[in-house]
Structure 1
């Protein structure tokens, strides 16, 4: 299975902004980091700060994954400048295969295409955050050669 990446179109970007904010807000609420009240608005605000010029934001790759027939299968968002300033390390903010296309190896293919695009843009490494409850993603990243560099833990008291 091959996946290629291309820049998102304006209409794809507009649709993606709300979807990613809703998904990110739900992850933050489920992880116990944010309250549900105002979570989507908070996510929209955070993303707007990171993408102040939308698709034209410098040093950001906002990509659409497409299969061999050119049909969209997923999306990805990479910042070429690490949020903590780590030199030459890009940061994967989002990657997702469309729900209807999951379970067929497209996630691994999309990740590989994103890594190639990130490398072509000049990064020597790619870092990401994955929520602890996302066992499928953790398994994918582990099998793709990603290593834990930091780990955050919590215990309810």
Structure 2
């Protein structure tokens, strides 16, 4: 298994992360039918600014860079306070392995490193949301011991939409 260490993100890394993550989240929202393409990017940026009003200095938020042998391979964003107030439970907002480093077990190692940091900060559990269309992430979380605690479902109701 690949070893990954994590360190706090620098400002330049945060600036790039902020824009990339907003664009990715906006695209997921458009693909899932939640937002329109016209509004998605600005809504994603607004949401991130809401969660990170002080950027890297936002209390209780960890923006970490995963490294293997000194080379950045990914990033992880963990909130030490759960957004719905679940006691002793941190929240994983984002995790991503850089495209050129995927397929080597680094996602699992990065997740494990993030879990360790959350534990060091007193978290007894780590929760996350994952888009239903992200089979790779779902598989990672299931095989890492995560279980479904809630589930949201959707059906588009077009003119011809009918139950089978």
Normalising by structure 2, report the TM-score.
0.94
Instruction: Tell me the equivalent position of 1:6.
Output: 7
| Secondary structure of the structure 1 residue equivalent to 2:38 | coil
Corresponding residue of 1:117: 117
- Work out which of the two has the higher radius of gyration on C-alpha atoms and give 1 or 2: 2
Once the two structures are TM-superposed, the CA of residue 124 in structure 1 deviates from its matched residue by: 0.5
What RMSD, in angstroms, separates the aligned Cα atoms of the two structures? Answer: 0.6
Paired position in structure 2 for 1:154: 154
For 1:17 and 1:154, locate their aligned partners in 2 and report how far apart those are by CA, in whole Å.
28
**Alignment partners' CA distance in 2, 1:104 and 1:30:** 27
Task: Specify every segment of 5 or more residues in structure 1 that has no aligned partner in the other structure, as ranges.
Answer: none
Distance 2:45 2:153 in 1: 26
Partner of 2:37: 36
TM-score (norm 1): 0.98
Following TM superposition, by how much is the alpha carbon of 1:156 offset from its aligned partner in structure 2, in angstroms? 1.8
Q: Within the alignment, does 1:145 sit opposite 2:123 as a pair?
A: no
Q: Distance in 2 between matches of 1:156 and 1:23?
A: 22
Task: List structure 1 segments (4+ residues) > 4 angstroms apart after TM superposition.
Answer: none
The aligned length equals 156
Aligned to 1:94: 94
Distance 1:90 1:78 in 2: 7
- Give a deviation string over 1:39-96, Cα, whole Å, max 9, x none: 11110111001101110100001000000x2100000101111110100111100000
- Name the structure 1 match of 2:23: 22
